[in-house]
Structure 1
């Protein structure tokens, strides 16, 4: 059983409502309250400190919403890629079937021409006109075989034509689905960009002192450089060990929404990349990664396990031992270590 080290500042009643960013914002709010109200352009009617705290809280909310939109964007992007591959494969199959149909039609045309050249004369009349009745009987037998071959080719052509039409219909349906998925990707991308731009405007509206305090808080007072003591921590498998080594090597890389490394990451992009270094393919989104393995209790978490956060599974980190996870937190922050209980845990998945 793993002993998860908890910060003494996190009580059981507040743990469920505390996130990495909100903890940082609390620090920022305390620092901001010292600034004069008149210097704060974001102040509301209730006072400068309240206005600053409200702006900081709004930034945190926007970052959380942007992360949800980012995971939706990631999911739509992954689906678009799958559909693009499926459409390409369908188009290849359709082209091969079309070539087969064309070949069948050419062979049937040759058979029809041969039959026409032999004449459509009634066998009895032909027998009467034939100088050698036995020779005619041989030709008649050949004509019967020719008709049988033609009938067989016609059946094959009919089946191939039906297959071709089905493939064309399926390709058209997939193309429409692909276009809808592309539209969804564009919509989620705009949503992320809009939320991040709004957050940036709110931050820029703060006075210099308040902005500096927020920046310090968002870096968790140097947690980017914090390295916990993981001496003696042993992952449950060789692949988990490789994934943990990869994710720890990524500490310090910047957060970038929609990115899967190797120089920048969003939350699910980081865990997907880390496990790819171990030869394991994970789904693209935190929601899908939740189901990418066996579910285990948090108390039994081992290094390499994926820790899924929030009820909507919109954030993910990797447990590395000693009560710590490595994750890509939010825009403006870098990949870092944080306590496993930094925000509400929805699930722990062991790939």
Structure 2
């Protein structure tokens, strides 16, 4: 009988994951000072009920953990968008200022032309004929008037171009400023959501650690189980390993067997489920997303019957748990609080999908 079947008949073993600092804070402060979650631990009955409660609470904490990680990633994206929008707005403001400066340089000359025209200045060839006393004087006056008209045309054309450029820059600057404000508002909303989720997670962690503390030593040992199932042949699983392959990612992940489960952990010494998968693939030069949900959307889809060693497998309808397929119906995963990184049967939790990276 497997560890999972002993502990949770008819139920899937819950998992968890979020900030390492949150776990440390919750454990240091103790359940009395942590924010309570919505679902409070109920009164415990038999030892098996206590274990089942821990399993249920662990899965809830993992869902909250993954949601918090997703909110953090969303915030990072929104902050980057805000930075880009604000930088573009600054460039557009500079362009607007430059256009206004150019326009101002033309303004005195345009004002002078407008004033002369208002006072009745005559620059046409007809007036040159009327006012000339000789043919030579006519030619001189016509040449001067042509030159003056050409200068006036150049100045007016330059003024119009500068005015058009200033108007366009004003429209662009206003639009980029609006985009920057929108990006800032979106970042603020996501930050507020992240704060709410972090508070909820602290409560979940407090619930799990409280439930864990209520277990007997025998129950804790039984829940942790063995890191390798009986008969698991590591060498056979890793046969055909090549550098950079998904099998190599599994091999890297297997070096962390025995590391504790830590909400938000993604480094040796403590992992959550998606943190372990991300870390393992990073060791072979592949960058995977941070959350289990995002990991369930990347790579290439793989049918359950076509899975190969090294494929990424996610579980539950919301893809809130993830592991690496180890062949023969087994996965490597960071399971839940109190259970170190281990190889376990894939059927211990409801299958969602598989992806090949």
Whichever of the two has the greater Rg, that structure is: 2
**What is the DSSP-based 3-state SS (H/G/I as helix, E as strand, rest coil) of the residue aligned with 1:203?**
helix
Structure 2 residue runs without a partner (length 5+): 16-40, 132-136
SS of equivalent residue, structure 1 residue 95:
helix
3-state SS of 1:17 partner? coil
Q: 1: distance between equivalents of 2:2 and 2:208?
A: 29
Match for residue 264 of structure 2 among 258, 270, 275:
258
Pairwise CA distance, 1:267? 0.8
Other structure's SS at 1:346 match: strand
Cα distance, 1:138–1:257 mapped onto 2, change above 3 Å: same
For residue 340 of structure 2, give the secondary structure of its aligned residue in structure 1. coil
The CA distance in 2 between the partners of 1:77 and 1:173, in whole Å, is 19
1:134-193 alpha-carbon deviations (Å, 9 max, x no partner)? 324312211111111211122122122111111111111111111111111111111111
Alignment of 1:22-61 (within 5 A): 50-61=45-56
Instruction: Give a deviation string over 1:72-125, Cα, whole Å, max 9, x none.
Output: 001111111111111111111111111111111101101112333567212962
How far apart, CA to CA, are the structure 2 residues paired with 1:311 and 1:264?
26
Whether the 8 Å CA contact 2:244–2:285 is kept in 1: the answer is: no
CA contact (8 A) 2:99 2:162 kept: yes
The answer to whether the Cα contact below 8 Å between 2:282 and 2:288 also exists between their aligned partners in 1 is: yes
| Residue of 75, 78, 89 corresponding to 1:83 | 78
2:310 to 300, 304, 308: 304
**Is 1:151 aligned to 2:160, yes or no?**
yes
Contact 1:308 1:317 in 2 (8 A): yes
Counterpart residue number, 2:11: 17
CA distance in structure 2 between the partners assigned to 1:8 and 1:331 by the alignment:
16
Tell me whether 1:111 sits opposite 2:120 in the alignment: no
For 1:181, which of 190, 197, 208 is the aligned residue? 190
In 2 relative to 1, CA 323–55 (structure 1 residues): closer, same or farther, beyond 3 Å?
A: closer
Match of 1:329 among 332, 335, 345: 335
Q: 1:276 to 1:82 in 2, by over 3 A?
A: same
**Which runs of structure 2 are paired with 1:62-81 in the superposition (5 Å)?**
62-81=57-76
Aligned pair partner of 2:146 in 133, 137, 152: 137
Q: 1:212 aligns with which of 194, 211, 217?
A: 217
- C-alpha distance in 2 between matches for 1:9 and 1:158: 70
Secondary structure in 1 matching 2:347: coil
Q: TM-score, normalised by structure 2?
A: 0.78
Structure 1 SS opposite 2:102: helix
CA drift at 1:234: 3.1
Q: CA RMSD in A?
A: 3.1
CA distance change for structure 1 residues 85 and 226 in 2, over 3 Å: closer, same or farther? Answer: farther
Partners of 2:229 and 2:9 in 1: CA distance: 24
Alpha carbons of structure 1 residues 8 and 214: separation in structure 2 relative to 1, 3 Å: closer
Compared with structure 1, are the counterparts of its residues 227 and 108 closer, same or farther at alpha carbon in structure 2 (3 Å cutoff)?
A: farther
Q: For 1:9 and 1:307, locate their aligned partners in 2 and report how far apart those are by CA, in whole Å.
A: 18
CA 1:16–1:158 in 2, change beyond 3 Å: closer, same or farther?
A: farther
Question: Which of 228, 234, 237 does residue 230 from structure 1 map onto?
Answer: 234
Aligned equivalents of 2:191, 2:156: Cα separation in 1 = 52
Structure 1 residues 172 and 329, CA, compared in 2 at 3 Å: closer, same or farther?
Answer: same
Change in Cα spacing, 1:327 to 1:79, as seen in structure 2 (3 Å) is same
